[in-house]
């Protein structure tokens, strides 16, 4: 079998992510910024869910949530996490691992108030991840809060915040014919990134 050119170049994984993400935004039918977020308790019991990437750059990858939710409590216990992007239209995946820190209150305020008003009220009315006796209870709380705050700015709840994952490892996966896939893993060594291909 003749060798062919690598599709995943060595170099800067942040620049490579930017390029792949830009392509996904034009090709994915829904939510190119959707990512699986894996967290774990202090006892290393894992859980995973889908969240939306709301910002990224050299300092990391940002998402927002209720800090009193299950993932928020797990982050408080164990501030390490992993992200997974799966862009089926491009037949690509990106895995990112690193540590989490909370965004500033200024960042959290800015993003909270950029959301549709009904989403702001829905977040403020939700005890995320807590038991709920009926959906009607939640919708009644949303309606009551909307009425109480009519004509006013919705205050960001203090427990509604964001987290930034500072990457220390990336893995890029590209589908290849006959399941002869291509994988490249990048790891940070100080300010420098090194990479290697992995067997699929």
Q: Any residues with CB less than 8 A from the CB of 50 and at least 6 apart, and which? A: 34, 35, 36, 37
| DSSP helix/strand/coil, 116 | coil
Active-site entry in 135, 148, 179, 192: 179
Number of C-beta neighbours around residue 55 at 10 A: 16
Cβ–Cβ under 8 Å, residues 156 and 67: no
CB environment 119-141: b (16+ within 10 A), e (fewer): ebbbbbbbeeeeeeeeeeeeeeb
Cα–Cα distance, 110 to 156 (Å, whole number)? 10
Is 179 known to be catalytic? yes
Active centre residues (catalytic): 179
């Amino acid at each position: 079998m003749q060798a062919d050119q690598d599709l995943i170049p060595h170099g800067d994984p942040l620049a490579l992510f930017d390029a792949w993400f830009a392509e996904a935004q034009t090709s994915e039918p829904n939510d190119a910024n959707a990512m699986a977020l894996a967290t774990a308790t202090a006892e290393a019991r894992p859980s995973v869910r889908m969240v939306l990437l709301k910002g990224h750059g050299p300092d990391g990858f940002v998402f927002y949530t209720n800090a009193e939710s299950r993932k928020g409590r797990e982050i408080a216990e164990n501030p390490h996490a992993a992200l997974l992007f799966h862009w089926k239209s491009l037949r690509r995946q990106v895995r990112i691992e690193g540590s989490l820190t909370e965004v500033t209150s200024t960042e959290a305020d800015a993003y909270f108030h950029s959301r549709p008003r009904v989403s702001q009220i829905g977040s403020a009315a939700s005890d995320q991840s807590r038991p709920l006796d009926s959906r009607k209870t939640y919708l009644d709380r949303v309606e009551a809060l909307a009425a109480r705050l009519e004509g006013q700015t919705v205050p960001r709840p203090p427990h509604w915040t964001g987290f930034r994952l500072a990457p220390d490892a990336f893995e890029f996966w590209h589908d290849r014919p006959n399941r002869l896939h291509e994988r490249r893993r990048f790891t940070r060594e100080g300010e420098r990134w090194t990479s290697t291909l992995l067997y699929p």
